């Protein structure tokens, strides 16, 4: 068996030099196939406030230069365990959201051919819907853990059904989520009305607010999340605004009172061994970032997601 090709050796090529791929990994075209593909989706036409997440993938890649190959928190060397590669970006129409959603779905489906799993860097949260559609083709309805300041289960914005605030309502309506195992983590801030929570609950979502994480602690929250998802195929979707603006200022819709980066990473690490089948990190908008705080946090989140995939045995393919 061929050994996985890992990142560029930082003892030979300084971290500020060399390829601008995620964690300085090889490109997909250099290895032919991979177990995990890190792919960017530079799309932000679905945002409702500050734009700029189209530049998220490149900023996260740049911030990822300092990542190292061994993860002591999870006791895994993900790049030695799996062939991980940077699959570049999915280019899609910035003027037509419907066409962009279709493009992302088709490209993600092609990338996953042969069992490759994706860690996707956005882009805005609109992209979660086509990614979930693609996964449902392979696994059927999946469990979802959604880390976000916001619910993202609203119906429409200005009459538009496909935006960064609507992907999980559409996913429930389309039957691609296992509604016995869906939940939000880190939500907070004002809503349009109490009906937002009632609608969300009716769709099957459980909620762990950022205040819950503070009061209950990481370990108790992880136990509750693991009980909810069980052994089901799991998708993890992370809007970087789940973090407090002190930890992630570079995002489009910041809300006070969020998680710390340490809390988010520790919750993710508590999911080790879950049946993770894919994940995304979205809403990094570097124009509002200070000293790359947000991009650095997002790069570590993506690294933890790759590491979790290294600890999660691939599931057999199923038809929905």
Kindly report, residue by residue over 17-71, the tens digit of the pLDDT: 998 999 999 999 999 999 999 999 999 999 999 999 999 999 999 999 999 999 9
Query: Does 23 fall in a domain?
Result: no
Query: Does 275 fall in a domain?
Result: yes
Regarding predicted confidence, which is higher, 315 or 121?
121
Q: What confidence tens digit (pLDDT) does each residue in 184-200 have?
A: 999 999 999 999 999 99
Is a pLDDT exceeding 80 seen at residue 286?
A: yes
Number of domains the chain is built from: 1
Q: Is 150 annotated as a binding residue?
A: yes
Q: Is 184 annotated as a binding residue?
A: no
Residue in the block written with tokens 């989520």: 177
- pLDDT score at 97: 98
Under 8 Å between Cβ of 260 and 244: yes
Average pLDDT over residues 254-264: 98
CATH of the domain at 127: 3.40.800.10
Q: Is 223 annotated as a binding residue?
A: no
Cα–Cα nearest to 244, from 231, 259, 225, 226: 259
Query: Does 11 fall in a domain?
Result: no
Query: Does 190 fall in a domain?
Result: yes
Is a pLDDT exceeding 70 seen at residue 168?
A: yes
- pLDDT score at 318: 45
Residue in the block written with tokens 């009061």: 215
Query: Does 5 fall in a domain?
Result: no
- pLDDT score at 319: 43
Chain mean pLDDT for the chain? 96
Is a pLDDT exceeding 50 seen at residue 265?
A: yes
Query: Does 98 fall in a domain?
Result: yes
Helices marked H in the chain — which ranges?
A: 28-31, 56-63, 78-81, 97-111, 128-139, 167-173, 194-202, 210-216, 218-229, 261-269, 293-310
152, 274, 308, 122: CA torsion to nearest 10: -20
- pLDDT score at 315: 45
Q: How many CA atoms lie within 13 A of 130 on its CB side?
A: 28
């Amino acid at each position: 068996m061929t050994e996985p090709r890992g990142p560029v050796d930082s003892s030979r090529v300084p971290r500020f030099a060399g390829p601008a791929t995620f964690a300085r990994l090889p490109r997909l075209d250099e290895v032919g196939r991979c177990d995990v593909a890190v792919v960017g989706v530079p799309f932000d036409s679905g945002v409702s406030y500050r734009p700029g997440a189209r530049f998220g993938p490149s900023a996260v890649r740049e911030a990822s230069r300092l990542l190292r190959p061994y993860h002591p928190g999870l006791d895994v060397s993900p790049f030695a365990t799996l062939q991980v590669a940077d699959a570049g970006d999915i280019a899609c129409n910035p003027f037509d959201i419907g066409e962009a959603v279709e493009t992302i779905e088709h490209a993600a489906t092609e990338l996953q051919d042969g069992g490759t799993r994706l860690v996707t860097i956005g882009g805005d949260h609109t992209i979660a819907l086509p990614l979930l559609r693609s996964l449902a083709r392979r696994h059927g309805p999946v469990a979802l853990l959604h880390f976000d300041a916001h619910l993202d289960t609203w119906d429409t914005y200005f009459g538009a059904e496909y935006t960064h605030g609507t992907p999980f309502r559409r996913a429930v309506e389309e039957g691609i989520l296992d509604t016995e195992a869906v939940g939000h983590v880190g939500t907070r801030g004002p809503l349009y009305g109490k009906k937002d929570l009632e609608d969300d609950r009716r769709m099957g979502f459980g909620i762990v607010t950022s205040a819950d994480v503070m009061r209950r602690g990481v370990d108790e929250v992880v136990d509750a999340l693991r009980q909810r998802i069980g052994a089901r195929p799991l998708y993890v979707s992370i809007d970087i605004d789940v973090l407090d603006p002190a930890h992630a200022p570079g995002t489009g819709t910041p809300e006070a009172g969020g998680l710390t980066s340490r809390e988010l990473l520790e919750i993710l690490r508590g999911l080790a061994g879950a049946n993770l089948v894919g994940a995304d990190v979205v809403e990094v908008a570097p124009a509002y970032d200070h000293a790359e705080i947000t991009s650095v946090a997002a790069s570590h989140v993506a690294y933890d997601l790759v590491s979790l995939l290294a600890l999660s045995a691939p599931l057999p393919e199923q038809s929905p």
